[in-house]
Structure 1
Amino acid sequence: MSAPGGVIFWLLSVLCFLAGSWTATLSTGDLFSMLGPKNYTGAANFSTFLLDRSSGVLYLGARDAILAVDTKSLAPKSNPIVWDVPDEKKTSCVGKGKTEGDCRNYIRLLEFLGDGRIYACGTYAFDPQCAFLNMSSLTLEQGEDGGVRMETGKGKCPFEPSQHYTAVMAGGTLYTAATSNFLGTLFDISRATGPVLERIRTERSINWLSDPEFVSSAFIHQDELNNPTGEDDKIYFFFTEVAKEYDLYMKVKVPRVARVCKSDVGGMKTLQKRWTTFLKAQLVCEDRASGQRYNILTDVFTTQHTPGDPSSTHFYGLFTSQWEHEELSAVCVYSLADINRVMDGPFKELRKTCEINPEPVPTPRPGQCLNNALRAEGFESSLKLPDKVLTFMRDHPLMENSVIAAPLLVRRGITYTKVAVTRTAMGLDENQSVAATVLHLGTDRGELHRVAVVGQNTTLLHEMALFPTQEPVNNILLYKGQALVGSPLYLARVGAEGCSLYSSCEVCALARPLGCVWKDNACNPGLTGAIQGEDVENALRKCDRRVGLCSPAQRELRVSLGLRVLLPCVQVSPRSCTWEHPPHRHTRQHHSDLEVTVTEESLGTYTCHCQEGVQGGQKESHPCVRASYQLTLESPSVGGAVALSKGRHVVAVYIFCFSMGAVFGGFLLHFLFRRCKTRQHRPDHSLSSEKGRDLLGSSATPQSPSSASLLSEGFPITEKRTGNGTLLLTHHHNKTNGHPGSYGIGIRYDSNHGNNGYANNTNSNTALTSATSSVAEGLKLQVQEMPIDVRRGVERGRPEEGERGGEVDEEDEGLGEGLGGLEEELAGFTLFRLPAPLAQCEESSI
Structure 2
Amino acid sequence: MSLGGVMLLLFPVLLLCGGSGAATLGGPGEAVLGRGTFGKMGNFSTFLLNRTSGMLFLGATDAILAVDTNRMNQSPRTITWDVPEEKRRSCVAKGKTEVDCRNYIRLLEFLGNGKIYVCGTYAFDPQCAFLDLSSFTLEKAEEGGVRMETGKGKCPFEPSQHYTAVMADGVLYTAATSNFLGTLFDISRATGPEQERIRTERSIHWLSDPEFVSSAFIQESAGGNLAGDDDRIYFFFTEVAKEYDLYTKVKVPRVARVCKSDVGGMKTLQRRWTTFLKAQLVCEDKPSGQRYNVLKDVFTTQHSPGDPGSTHFYGLFTSQWELDELSAVCVFSLSDITKVIDGPFKELKKNCENWINHEPIPTPRPGQCLNNALKAEGFESSLKLPDKVLTFVRDHPLMENSVTAAPLLVRKGVKYTKLAVTLSGGEEEERRGAVLHLGTDRGELHRVAVVGQNATLLEERALFPSPEPVNNILLHESWALVGSPLSLARIPAVGCALYTTCEVCARARGLGCVWSATEEACRESPLDPGPDDFVDAALRKCPAGEGRCSPTPRVLRVTRDMRILLPCVQLSPRPCSWEYPPHRHTRQHHSDLEVTVGDDSVGTYVCTCQEAGPDIRDPTPCRRAEYQLTLEDPVIGGTGSTPGGRHVLAIYIVFFFAGLVLGVFLLYFVTRRRSLARQGRHLPDNSLSSEKGRDLLGSSATPQSPSSASLLSEGFRLTEKRNGTSTTTTTLLSNQGNGGHHSNSYSGSLIHSNSSNGHGNSLYGNCNAGSGGLKFASEILAADMLDGRTGERERARPEGGEREAGEG
- TM-score of the pair, normalised by structure 1: 0.77
Q: Give the C-alpha shift of residue 427 in structure 1.
A: 8.1
Q: Which residue of 2 aligns with 1:486?
A: 483
Question: Take 1:313 and 1:17, find their aligned partners in 2: how far apart are those partners?
Answer: 51
* Correspondence 1:219 to 2:249: no
- State whether residues 12 and 657 of structure 1, in contact with CA within 8 Å, keep that contact through their aligned partners in structure 2: no
Letter in 2 for 1:398: L
Q: Give the C-alpha shift of residue 535 in structure 1.
A: 4.7
- State whether residues 747 and 766 of structure 1, in contact with CA within 8 Å, keep that contact through their aligned partners in structure 2: no
- State whether residues 167 and 175 of structure 1, in contact with CA within 8 Å, keep that contact through their aligned partners in structure 2: yes
Q: Give the C-alpha shift of residue 335 in structure 1.
A: 0.4
- State whether residues 753 and 784 of structure 2, in contact with CA within 8 Å, keep that contact through their aligned partners in structure 1: no
After superposing the two structures, state which structure 1 stretch, 125-134 or 357-366, moved more: 357-366
* Correspondence 1:551 to 2:538: no
Match of 1:627 among 614, 625, 634: 625
Q: Which residue of 2 aligns with 1:389?
A: 389
Question: Take 2:427 and 2:275, find their aligned partners in 1: how far apart are those partners?
Answer: 43
Match of 1:465 among 462, 466, 478: 462
- State whether residues 23 and 31 of structure 2, in contact with CA within 8 Å, keep that contact through their aligned partners in structure 1: no
Q: Which residue of 2 aligns with 1:451?
A: 448
Q: Following superposition of structure 1 onto structure 2, how do residues 414-813 of structure 1 map, counting pairs within 5 Å? A: 414-426=414-426, 434-519=431-516, 520-530=519-529, 535-614=534-613, 620-638=618-636, 649-657=643-651, 715=728, 717=730, 718-721=748-751, 725-726=766-767, 732=777, 744=780, 748-749=784-785, 767=805, 771=808
Q: Give the C-alpha shift of residue 640 in structure 1.
A: 5.7
Match of 2:52 among 27, 51, 54: 54
Higher share in strand: 2
After superposing the two structures, state which structure 1 stretch, 574-583 or 470-479, moved more: 574-583
Question: Take 1:60 and 1:567, find their aligned partners in 2: how far apart are those partners?
Answer: 42
* 1:390 partner SS: helix
- Number of aligned pairs? 725
Q: Give the C-alpha shift of residue 436 in structure 1.
A: 1.4
Q: Following superposition of structure 1 onto structure 2, how do residues 397-412 of structure 1 map, counting pairs within 5 Å? A: 397-412=397-412
Question: Take 1:31 and 1:634, find their aligned partners in 2: how far apart are those partners?
Answer: 48
Question: Take 2:479 and 2:768, find their aligned partners in 1: how far apart are those partners?
Answer: 33
Letter in 2 for 1:462: E
* Correspondence 1:140 to 2:170: no
- State whether residues 609 and 623 of structure 1, in contact with CA within 8 Å, keep that contact through their aligned partners in structure 2: yes
Question: Take 1:552 and 1:52, find their aligned partners in 2: how far apart are those partners?
Answer: 45
Inter-CA distance 73–261: structure 2 relative to 1 (3 Å threshold): same
After superposing the two structures, state which structure 1 stretch, 433-442 or 713-722, moved more: 713-722
Inter-CA distance 323–663: structure 2 relative to 1 (3 Å threshold): farther
Q: Which residue of 1 aligns with 2:361?
A: 362
Letter in 1 for 2:33: L
- State whether residues 797 and 803 of structure 2, in contact with CA within 8 Å, keep that contact through their aligned partners in structure 1: no
Question: Take 1:618 and 1:249, find their aligned partners in 2: how far apart are those partners?
Answer: 34
1:472-496 per-residue CA deviation (whole Å, 9 max, x = no partner) reads 2211111112212222222222211
Q: Which residue of 1 aligns with 2:733?
A: none
Q: Which residue of 1 aligns with 2:118?
A: 120
CA RMSD after TM alignment:
4.0
Inter-CA distance 723–317: structure 2 relative to 1 (3 Å threshold): farther
Question: Take 2:601 and 2:416, find their aligned partners in 1: how far apart are those partners?
Answer: 36
After superposing the two structures, state which structure 1 stretch, 594-603 or 274-283, moved more: 594-603
Question: Take 1:619 and 1:257, find their aligned partners in 2: how far apart are those partners?
Answer: 27
Inter-CA distance 563–672: structure 2 relative to 1 (3 Å threshold): farther
Q: Which residue of 1 aligns with 2:229?
A: 231
Q: Give the C-alpha shift of residue 539 in structure 1.
A: 3.6
Letter in 2 for 1:548: G
- State whether residues 50 and 58 of structure 1, in contact with CA within 8 Å, keep that contact through their aligned partners in structure 2: yes
After superposing the two structures, state which structure 1 stretch, 349-358 or 151-160, moved more: 349-358
Q: Give the C-alpha shift of residue 419 in structure 1.
A: 0.9
* Correspondence 1:264 to 2:294: no
Inter-CA distance 336–241: structure 2 relative to 1 (3 Å threshold): same
Inter-CA distance 323–652: structure 2 relative to 1 (3 Å threshold): farther
Letter in 2 for 1:386: P
Inter-CA distance 626–747: structure 2 relative to 1 (3 Å threshold): closer
Inter-CA distance 426–390: structure 2 relative to 1 (3 Å threshold): closer
1:321-350 per-residue CA deviation (whole Å, 9 max, x = no partner) reads 222222221111000111111112222222
After superposing the two structures, state which structure 1 stretch, 723-732 or 317-326, moved more: 723-732
Question: Take 2:512 and 2:782, find their aligned partners in 1: how far apart are those partners?
Answer: 40
Larger Rg: 1
- TM-score of the pair, normalised by structure 2: 0.81
Letter in 1 for 2:457: L
1:582-628 per-residue CA deviation (whole Å, 9 max, x = no partner) reads 1332333333222223221221001112223447x999443222111
Q: Give the C-alpha shift of residue 292 in structure 1.
A: 1.6
Stretches of structure 1 that go unaligned for 5 or more consecutive residues are 679-700, 734-742, 772-846
Q: Following superposition of structure 1 onto structure 2, how do residues 48-197 of structure 1 map, counting pairs within 5 Å? A: 48-74=46-72, 79-197=77-195
Q: Give the C-alpha shift of residue 156 in structure 1.
A: 0.2
After superposing the two structures, state which structure 1 stretch, 461-470 or 227-236, moved more: 461-470
* 1:80 partner SS: strand
Q: Which residue of 1 aligns with 2:308?
A: 310
Q: Give the C-alpha shift of residue 668 in structure 1.
A: 9.4
- State whether residues 477 and 483 of structure 1, in contact with CA within 8 Å, keep that contact through their aligned partners in structure 2: yes
1:721-756 per-residue CA deviation (whole Å, 9 max, x = no partner) reads 5686348898858xxxxxxxxx655665599xx9xx
Q: Give the C-alpha shift of residue 541 in structure 1.
A: 4.7
Q: Give the C-alpha shift of residue 95 in structure 1.
A: 2.4
Question: Take 2:318 and 2:543, find their aligned partners in 1: how far apart are those partners?
Answer: 39
After superposing the two structures, state which structure 1 stretch, 500-509 or 292-301, moved more: 500-509
- State whether residues 424 and 512 of structure 2, in contact with CA within 8 Å, keep that contact through their aligned partners in structure 1: no
Inter-CA distance 596–34: structure 2 relative to 1 (3 Å threshold): closer
After superposing the two structures, state which structure 1 stretch, 155-164 or 360-369, moved more: 360-369
Inter-CA distance 535–377: structure 2 relative to 1 (3 Å threshold): closer
Letter in 1 for 2:324: E
Question: Take 1:62 and 1:761, find their aligned partners in 2: how far apart are those partners?
Answer: 27
Question: Take 1:476 and 1:514, find their aligned partners in 2: how far apart are those partners?
Answer: 21
Letter in 2 for 1:319: F
Letter in 2 for 1:223: S
Inter-CA distance 141–730: structure 2 relative to 1 (3 Å threshold): closer
Q: Which residue of 1 aligns with 2:681?
A: none
Question: Take 1:50 and 1:497, find their aligned partners in 2: how far apart are those partners?
Answer: 21
- State whether residues 412 and 723 of structure 1, in contact with CA within 8 Å, keep that contact through their aligned partners in structure 2: no
Question: Take 1:94 and 1:19, find their aligned partners in 2: how far apart are those partners?
Answer: 37
Letter in 1 for 2:233: I
* 2:459 partner SS: strand
Q: Which residue of 2 aligns with 1:293?
A: 291
* 2:44 partner SS: coil
Question: Take 1:43 and 1:25, find their aligned partners in 2: how far apart are those partners?
Answer: 18
Q: Give the C-alpha shift of residue 258 in structure 1.
A: 0.8
Question: Take 2:408 and 2:474, find their aligned partners in 1: how far apart are those partners?
Answer: 21
Question: Take 2:775 and 2:55, find their aligned partners in 1: how far apart are those partners?
Answer: 48
- State whether residues 732 and 744 of structure 1, in contact with CA within 8 Å, keep that contact through their aligned partners in structure 2: yes
Question: Take 2:768 and 2:782, find their aligned partners in 1: how far apart are those partners?
Answer: 9
Q: Give the C-alpha shift of residue 318 in structure 1.
A: 0.7
Stretches of structure 2 that go unaligned for 5 or more consecutive residues are 673-703, 720-727, 731-747, 755-765
Q: Give the C-alpha shift of residue 561 in structure 1.
A: 2.2
Inter-CA distance 641–577: structure 2 relative to 1 (3 Å threshold): farther
Letter in 2 for 1:569: C
- State whether residues 566 and 783 of structure 2, in contact with CA within 8 Å, keep that contact through their aligned partners in structure 1: no
Q: Give the C-alpha shift of residue 633 in structure 1.
A: 1.3
